[in-house]
Chain A
Amino acid sequence: MRSGLLIEFETPDGLRSGIERLRKLGPEHGIDEMEAYTPWPVKGVDELLKLPKSKVPRNVLIGGLCGAATGYLVQWYCNAINFPIDIGGRPPHSAPAFVLITFETMVLFAGVTSFLSALVFAGLPRLWDPVFEVEGFRRASIDRFWLGLKRGRAPLDVDAIRREMASLGALQVVAVGEDQA
């Protein structure tokens, strides 16, 4: 989040009601994109923020299929095409014997894809972010629930937001990034 507002809540419920209230305030108060920062995945936040469906499963499927194909083709090329060895008349291209390695490479590729796509989609690694400069934001990984409001085209109506959030029991509303200073 480059710039905008950060709002601190003490409970997951506070965070959820905060998101709902801000949605109601709407674009006329400058509210555009929101983000939540929580110590553990809080139920219902995804839906409230209307996050798009994760594409990790699709990538994993592709990764797994590529892995299986790679495993099988390598074995087939090595043992049946490039260097066939006749051992007691056994067929050089022997599907049952190739199953295990095909399975293992499938799992390997799928697992690595899963790991990498989660990182890439989440935009990690990214060691520094303006939110880290905010006093007290450290507790976002411990026991506090932060709501981020990104500055969109229209300026944020800070006073109205502050008022609304205070009525919901927000602990603080602070500016972040270029809005800080």
Chain B
Amino acid sequence: MSEASPLAPHRPDIDPVLESKSSDYQLTTKLLEQVGRAPRGWWILIGIAATGTLWFAYAIYYLITVGIGALGNQIPVAWAFPITNFVWWIGIGHAGTFISAILYLLEQRWRTSINRFAEAMTIFAVMQAGLFPLLHLGRPWFAYWIIPYPATMGVWPQFKSALTWDAAAVFTYFTISVLFWYLGLVPDLAAARDTSNGFRRKAFAVFSLGWRGAARHWKHYKIAYLLLLLAGLATPLVISVHSVVSLDFAEARVPGWHSTIFPPYFVAGAIFSGFAMVLTLLVPCRAIFHLEEVITPRHLESMAKMLLVTGWVVTYTYIIEQFLAWYSGDTFEISEMFSSRPAGIYAFWFAVMIFGNVLVPQLYWFKRVRRSPWALFVTSIFINIGMWLERFIIIVTSLYREHIPSMWYQYRPTWVDFSLLFGSLCFFSLLFLILLRLVPIVPITETKEMRHEMASEHDEPTRAA
């Protein structure tokens, strides 16, 4: 038996997480290049995104002035598109936190190049998500009623309702994500300051807070960033947020919702859809900004593997969901799970969901698919669609066939519903594209640090550095 040395310099069968052979100086300037440089593709994309965002603004204006009746929602299907969009966007956000927090705890080095990217995705996705419950209120100007403040009427929010839990969870999640992301950005903004001149230098100087990289800075920074925000706080947070969201459903006595599987089911789905969205965004960005040396096939492959794993967790929960419905012996649960979902009016969309979430990820068994950026791009879009449909199916098919036939109703979305969904996609893209021009999207400091660590560990600079 040949014994592999525990300190073997490298494994030839694994791609490096970093292919750059340039010096630290070159790497820094290379990674900063994307800030302030606009390739043609960027202008085209931002044109589309800005137009869509204007349409989004118009749809919101229409919805608020006309009222909630502009949407297809109607009792008993009172939730429909807005809450589907909310759950979908929140779920997408989770992959960002997963990559930066949980993969850090698991010491997965490939996370370094993509963690800022994923965190930015989290923040913007949570922003989109937050809009939908607000719009769904019908009178969004009363949204502040959810905050416990001493009102003249002497009433308080009801904290035994899942709605207040949701507000607290999403607000905390957003705040922590922003702080965490910004703290991680500070040393890179300092690097941006130190490589630029004039107005840009002044702007970066302000946002880098005068970071000097002093040992005293690093000491407190590391502990705040790595130990506390990241590992200690963000990890339970990412699990809790989608669990709380799922309780909005599980608390209700609606067939198809009232189940204890919901919290883990939602968390798995969230991470699954989030990884798909990371790929959807990463593949074009990598091509447009030529980030191949820091985002290597290794990253793409690792993410495809994550999709395969989380895809199977989702598949497993689909099976368990059916099993629990059958095992409960409850007529309504059985009718919901075995007839109105797979064979009702929305049977086609149910089939599309199964195709996107269960069948498409099976392609990732093949190494060729896992290593092909454009195959990953296309499959990730199917997964995004599948995961959106999953939430749609959970919400609409459970509500449109409730306990008594007099409550049955066929839901049809209106143009406002579709405008809000596609508008939010455009708004998300717009924010993301603007960000690409403002901050370095690959963490420069962490990449350099990792490179030096690898070089000193392996003692083989040609490969690591």
Q: Contact residues of A with B, CB < 8 Å?
A: 12, 35-41, 45-46, 49, 51, 54, 56-57, 60, 71, 74-75, 78-79, 82-83, 85, 87, 90, 94, 97-98, 100-101, 103-105, 107-108, 110-112, 114-115, 117-119, 121-129, 131-132, 138-143, 148
Contacts and interface: CB of A to CB of B under 8 A. Distances in A.
A36 B157 CA distance: 52
Top 5 A-B pairs, shortest CB-CB distance: A118-B224, A78-B156, A143-B24, A125-B209, A40-B449
Contacts, number: 187
A39 B213 contact: yes
Given A97-B159, A118-B221, A104 B449 contact: no
A20 B322 CA distance: 67
Contact of B157 (A39, A40, A78, A114): A78
Interface in B246-287: 247
A122 B183 CA distance: 13
Interface string B209-230: 1111111111111111101110
B187 A141 contact: yes
B108 interface: no
A114 B228 contact: yes
Interface string B182-193: 010001001101
A143 B168 contact: no
Interface stretch (B120-128, B233-241, B311-319, B385-393): B233-241
A35 B216 contact: yes
Nearest to A40: B449
A97 B168 contact: no
24 contacts: A40-B187, A41-B222, A51-B215, A56-B224, A57-B228, A78-B148, A85-B158, A87-B160, A104-B168, A104-B240, A107-B233, A112-B175, A118-B220, A118-B224, A118-B225, A122-B216, A124-B209, A126-B209, A127-B206, A131-B212, A142-B28, A142-B191, A143-B25, A148-B214
Contact of A100 (B169, B187, B205, B213): B169
A141 B187 CA distance: 7
Interface string B137-174: 00000000000100000111111100011001101100
B445 A119 contact: no
Nearest to B222: A41
A111 B225 contact: no
Given A37-B214, A105-B168, A143-B23, 17 more contacts: A36-B214, A37-B215, A39-B191, A40-B187, A51-B216, A54-B220, A56-B228, A57-B227, A98-B159, A107-B240, A115-B179, A118-B221, A122-B220, A131-B212, A138-B194, A139-B194, A142-B28
B435 to A, nearest CB: 20
Contacts of A49: 215
Interface of B: 23-25, 28, 148, 154-160, 164-165, 168-169, 171-172, 175-176, 179-180, 183, 187, 190-191, 193-195, 205-206, 209-225, 227-229, 232-233, 236-237, 240, 244, 247, 445-446, 448-449, 452
Contact of A105 (B158, B172, B180): B172
Nearest to B209: A125
A143 to B, nearest CB: 4
Of listed B180, B205, B210, residue having the most chain A CB within 10 A: B210
B215 A129 contact: no
Interface of A is mostly: helix
Contacts of A108: 171-172, 175-176
Given A111-B176, A124-B211, A127-B209, A97 B191 contact: no
Contacts of A94: 160
Contact of B169 (A60, A82, A104, A131): A104
A94 B168 CA distance: 18
Interface of B is mostly: helix
B216 to A, nearest CB: 6
Contacts of A39: 24, 187, 191, 213, 445, 448
Contacts of A46: 215, 218-219
A43 to B, nearest CB: 8
B116 to A, nearest CB: 15
Contacts of A139: 25, 194
A130 to B, nearest CB: 10
A65 to B, nearest CB: 14
Contacts of A37: 212-215
A87 B161 CA distance: 12
A85 to B, nearest CB: 7
Contacts of A121: 216, 220
A41 B449 contact: yes
B206 A140 contact: no
A19 B217 CA distance: 18
A122 B221 CA distance: 8
A49 B180 CA distance: 27
Given A40-B449, A56-B224, A103-B240, A112 B217 contact: no
Nearest to A147: B215
A52 to B, nearest CB: 9
A160 to B, nearest CB: 23
Nearest to A148: B214
B321 to A, nearest CB: 23
Nearest to B237: A107
Given A38-B218, A111-B180, A143-B24, A79 B156 contact: yes
Contacts of A79: 156, 158-160
Of listed A49, A114, A124, A138, residue having the most chain B CB within 10 A: A114
B233 A110 contact: yes
A129 to B, nearest CB: 6
A118 B223 CA distance: 8
Given A94-B160, A111-B180, A114-B224, A126 B210 contact: yes
